[in-house]
Amino acid sequence: MDNEISTQPHGMEDVEIQEWLESLDSVLESSGPEVAAEILERLRAHAAVNGIDLPFSANTPYANTIPVRLQPLFPGDQELERRIKSLIRWNALAMVVRANRVEHNIGGHISTYASAATLYEVGFNHFFRARTEEFEGDTVYFQGHASPGIYARAFLEGRLSAQKLENFRRELKPGGGLSSYPHPWLMPDFWEFPTVSMGLSPLMAIYQARFNRYLEDRGMKPATDAKVWTFLGDGETDEPESLGAITLASREKLDNLIFVINCNLQRLDGPVRGNGQIIQELESAFRGARWNVIKVLWGSEWDPIFERDTEGLLVKRMGELVDGEYQKLVVSSGAYVREHFFGSDPRLLQLVEPMSDESLRRLRLGGHDPRKVYAAYKAAVDHKGSPTVILARTIKGYGLGEAGEGKNVTHQQKKLNEDELREFRSRFGIPLNDEDCIEVPFYRPAEDSVEIQYLRARRESLGGYVPKRSIRAKSLAADHDELFKEFLEGSDGREVSTTMAFVGMLRKMLKDPEIGKLIVPIVPDEARTFGMESLFRTAGIYSSVGQKYEPVDVNTLLYYKEAKDGQILEEGITEAGSMASFIAAGTAYATHGINTIPFFIYYSMFGFQRIADFIWAAADMRTRGFMLGGTAGRTTLSGEGLQHQDGNSHVLALPVPNNKAYDPAFAYEIAVIIQDGIRRMYKEGENIFYYITVMNEPYAMPSMPGDVKEGILRGMYRFRPATNSKAKLRAQLFGSGAILNETLRAQEILETKYGVAADVWSVTSYKELYFDGIETERWNRLHPGEKARVPYVTKGLADAPGVLVAASDYLKTLPNMISKWMPRRLASLGTDGFGRSEGRAALRDFFEVDSRFITLATLHELFVDGRIERSVLDKAIKDLGINTDKPNPVIS
């Protein structure tokens, strides 16, 4: 392990080291830490110049970062806070134990909160400021598995009833219950941030802190010293997202951001780094990323021992142990600690000579000592210029004793036997007798008790209760008909892509007096791909430091303009980070009371496929806004091959209940969808968000054929009816996105070459049609005595004769899932399989979705129905130039 102090000097006398240390001490005393640091830095440089190869280490010794002499006085009533904390511990444990008595294996976690109680309580009593009229408040991301402790505190605060606690993990019980973890979707007045899919919250918190600055720099909210607190587990840091954006936080100097990592050295199965030291590993990662790192390792009981240790032996010894050994010490007796920890050196043994085994066992860790935790938090909130991470050492399952303290199985401990319950009760002084205690009742002291009075007074002084979610943004007033009108009119034959059409709308929205300022364009380094570079100069790219350089293209019209009040969030190549910005902007209506409207545009393949879990979290958080999947469509994006060509995202969007997914073909469809989306989300306050795919294939945009708005929004409408509706051979063709044009071409071929009159439908959203279908079925099932409702698809196709053929640039499952509500059999064409680096025409041939294959599918359906002869089909295959021995795109 990288402990500078643990490297053994070669042949150097201890006395020589002692002299060096003493002279440093005297500099420290006479001139202070800054001068001491300067000397050490000069020494390091001097050594380097003289060819001394100092090994790089971002680590400091295995000791508290804040020395006792710099520790501030603890401002609270420590004894009273301990009692309150004990009651919260008890109620948190009771919630889980009771829930599992009622329903075996309903789950819940005791040991996470048990280890983090002090970390939270110091925050609640002294730091977390609530949102008030005057102050925006701090933002707190609670570690998901610690939820019982947060509920238990809200119970003492009088915010949650015993009934609610009783129904922990059973929200469906009469009177409601409490969700397992923080879920704004399930508890919208309480939780703000879903954190339990580990790794998401650290990344979301970083972008939240940066978004807060963005709002300030753009003059949308006053600059304040509000903090973003983020609590996470040490095991959680293994998720790549956890540390994935830490350099952004330091680059942006986010001193409004504080991470608290609960280093209990354990995760679910066992130690996080049995053979190493997770704290030192995290320290070097965060220090390397230029964070302010505060280690809180040892409690106050250790201070006098350190004081006696003038040779630095104790710190050296502490740096030697691996976490597996530390974990063992936690569960061992004082005698074992004396022998195995202090016993490595007679001088160490001497240091603890006067102490009893019992007091050795009771030496607390830093994360369980409110004074140390307070000192760290105080230093963190006062720190300027960089984000802070607090690495707090704790014991997993603290206080559970034999029931799991420090044991590998503790994460899943949900049941305590009678002895264990009594022991816990005694250890934390819960006023329950032996008999009552085994019933594990919730316990709340009287309203006028000192505990409740104190707890309330503390929260009042911090502005109110936390966590609390409330919606404070004012709804939009306008309908924006004027804004979108021009896009309903078509492009006059000019060939444009839907992406270009969208960018045109975005440009216009940015100028709108009501919504212009609220728009937040977000792009992960693809603005040029989407033709958005003109916005660089007009809207500006947000940069907290403005632009310190003259851009290379300054003489061009569309130069790369970074500005402090820039509106575009140009995130660089991080879809996860961009999504985190989308979430921060899309929830600002609650977090900040500001209705920002994010438009996040990206390569569609790298959205639902790559960052689906963030999208799921966005849904849980009631995020509002528009995700634009650019370069969409498996065969519409030509040349890019199978990692880029997206035929999946509309299927992957299906599970997200409050996400509206559209695959529009024309500019007016996009305009209708966006205008209505703004109305629903920002005027009506609906908790939905949009996914719209846009393509890069240019074609003439038609004007809206009559009032088809309802059809566009509900998922389908008849775009172009057959000219000869009296024809004997009839068909209904369904197309989506760019494939709609293939369908229109097929309509022509069918009519001119085969005498088939086909209507063409634009299917804008299979998801909408599917949701309508399953909801209608469900309603009918639950209301058998009432007049049966009819699915939108069925109703729409009531007067639609002929065979049915659907084609899209996505998997065939999309049309298939609505086929049961269609009047007849449906033939589905789609793009199942791996893409190819090919041009559009070849791709559409390969995937069998071009006008030829739509024609063939239609004729084949007519043949199956006995409406045409086999010979017509054979001839068509020949005339259309279809290779019947071609490889199967699904598996080739």
Give me the least distance between CB of 274 and Mg ion, in Å please. 13
Q: How far apart are the first and last CA of the chain?
A: 50
Order of strands, sheet of 756-763, starting from the edge strand that comes earlier in the sequence: 716-720, 756-763, 729-735, 803-807, 826-829
The smaller minimum CB distance to ligand TPP, of residues 267 and 295, is found at 267
Binding-site member from 177, 233, 387, 833 for Mg ion (CB under 5 A): 233
The smaller minimum CB distance to Mg ion, of residues 109 and 622, is found at 109
What is the C-alpha to C-alpha distance for residues 856 and 756, in angstroms, rounded to an integer?
A: 12
Residues in the chain: 892
Binding-site member from 166, 192, 236, 369 for ligand TPP (CB under 6 A): 236
Tokens of 236: 């959680």
The smaller minimum CB distance to ligand TPP, of residues 365 and 738, is found at 365
Residue number with the smallest Cβ distance to ligand TPP: 233
The smaller minimum CB distance to ligand TPP, of residues 577 and 830, is found at 577
Binding-site member from 85, 98, 145, 622 for ligand TPP (CB under 6 A): 145
Q: Chain centroid to CA 697: how far?
A: 32
Binding-site member from 76, 108, 148, 235 for ligand TPP (CB under 6 A): 235
Binders of ligand TPP among 722-751, rule CB under 6 A?
A: none
Contact 367, 377 (CB under 8 A): no
Q: Nearest 5°: phi and psi at 663?
A: -120, 70
Among 635, 663, 629, 665, which residue's Cα sits nearest to residue 647? 635
Give me the least distance between CB of 396 and Mg ion, in Å please. 6
- State which amino acid sits at residue 291: W
What is the C-alpha to C-alpha distance for residues 85 and 153, in angstroms, rounded to an integer?
A: 8
The smaller minimum CB distance to Mg ion, of residues 264 and 591, is found at 264
The smaller minimum CB distance to ligand TPP, of residues 235 and 737, is found at 235
Residues 6+ apart with CB under 8 A from 682: 475, 476, 515, 518, 589, 595, 597, 624
- In which residue are the tokens 């004396």 written? 338
Give me the least distance between CB of 315 and Mg ion, in Å please. 24
Is residue 410 at the binding interface for ligand TPP, with CB under 6 A as the rule?
no
Is residue 392 at the binding interface for ligand TPP, with CB under 6 A as the rule?
no
Residues 6+ apart with CB under 8 A from 459: 124, 130, 157, 465, 466
Is residue 234 at the binding interface for ligand TPP, with CB under 6 A as the rule?
yes
The smaller minimum CB distance to ligand TPP, of residues 273 and 718, is found at 273
- Pattern of binders to Mg ion over 241-280, x per CB under 5 A? -----------------------x-x--------------
Judged by CB under 6 A, how many residues of this single chain contact ligand TPP? 20
Tokens of 254: 């986010």
Is residue 393 at the binding interface for ligand TPP, with CB under 6 A as the rule?
no
What is the C-alpha to C-alpha distance for residues 669 and 14, in angstroms, rounded to an integer?
A: 80
Contact 305, 400 (CB under 8 A): no
The smaller minimum CB distance to ligand TPP, of residues 250 and 266, is found at 266
Q: Nearest 5°: phi and psi at 522?
A: -125, 130
Give me the least distance between CB of 852 and Mg ion, in Å please. 59
Judged by CB under 5 A, how many residues of this single chain contact Mg ion? 5
What is the C-alpha to C-alpha distance for residues 615 and 649, in angstroms, rounded to an integer?
A: 12
**HSE-up of 120 (CA within 13 Å, CB side)?**
30
The smaller minimum CB distance to ligand TPP, of residues 397 and 566, is found at 397
Out of Mg ion, ligand TPP, none, which partner does residue 236 contact, by CB within 5 to 8 A per kind?
ligand TPP
What is the C-alpha to C-alpha distance for residues 482 and 284, in angstroms, rounded to an integer?
A: 56
- In which residue are the tokens 């389908």 written? 716
Binding-site member from 235, 366, 791, 835 for Mg ion (CB under 5 A): 235
Give me the least distance between CB of 656 and ligand TPP, in Å please. 17
Out of Mg ion, ligand TPP, none, which partner does residue 386 contact, by CB within 5 to 8 A per kind?
none
- Number of neighbouring beta carbons within 10 Å of residue 464: 14
What is the C-alpha to C-alpha distance for residues 181 and 143, in angstroms, rounded to an integer?
A: 9
What is the C-alpha to C-alpha distance for residues 847 and 638, in angstroms, rounded to an integer?
A: 13
Among 285, 248, 410, 252, which residue's Cα sits nearest to residue 261? 285
Dihedral sign of CA atoms 83, 87, 88, 90 in order: positive
Stretch that binds Mg ion, among 51-59, 229-237, 331-339, 788-796 (CB under 5 A): 229-237
Binding-site member from 268, 457, 788, 841 for ligand TPP (CB under 6 A): 268
SS3 359: helix
What is the C-alpha to C-alpha distance for residues 724 and 63, in angstroms, rounded to an integer?
A: 86
The smaller minimum CB distance to ligand TPP, of residues 192 and 236, is found at 236
Give me the least distance between CB of 240 and Mg ion, in Å please. 17
Binding-site member from 6, 57, 161, 197 for ligand TPP (CB under 6 A): 197
Stretch that binds ligand TPP, among 233-241, 360-368, 727-735, 769-777 (CB under 6 A): 233-241
Out of ligand TPP, Mg ion, none, which partner does residue 742 contact, by CB within 5 to 8 A per kind?
none
Binding-site member from 81, 136, 217, 234 for Mg ion (CB under 5 A): 234
The smaller minimum CB distance to ligand TPP, of residues 61 and 108, is found at 108
Binding-site member from 76, 233, 404, 830 for ligand TPP (CB under 6 A): 233
Contact 473, 594 (CB under 8 A): yes
Give whole-number Cα distances, 349 to 18, 327, 330, 360, in Å. Answer: 20, 20, 18, 12
Stretch that binds ligand TPP, among 20-28, 187-195, 266-274, 630-638 (CB under 6 A): 266-274
The smaller minimum CB distance to ligand TPP, of residues 264 and 386, is found at 264
The smaller minimum CB distance to ligand TPP, of residues 258 and 739, is found at 258
- In which residue are the tokens 């309480």 written? 190
Out of Mg ion, ligand TPP, none, which partner does residue 407 contact, by CB within 5 to 8 A per kind?
none
Residues 6+ apart with CB under 8 A from 290: 247, 250, 386
Among 809, 802, 845, which residue's Cα sits nearest to residue 825? 802
Residue number with the smallest Cβ distance to Mg ion: 233
Out of ligand TPP, Mg ion, none, which partner does residue 196 contact, by CB within 5 to 8 A per kind?
ligand TPP
What is the C-alpha to C-alpha distance for residues 175 and 650, in angstroms, rounded to an integer?
A: 37
Binders of ligand TPP among 101-130, rule CB under 6 A?
A: 112, 115
Is residue 262 at the binding interface for ligand TPP, with CB under 6 A as the rule?
yes
The smaller minimum CB distance to Mg ion, of residues 144 and 235, is found at 235
Site of interaction with ligand TPP (CB under 6 A): 112, 115, 145, 196-199, 233-236, 239, 262, 264, 266-268, 272, 396, 411
Chain contacts with Mg ion (rule: CB under 5 A): 233-235, 264, 266
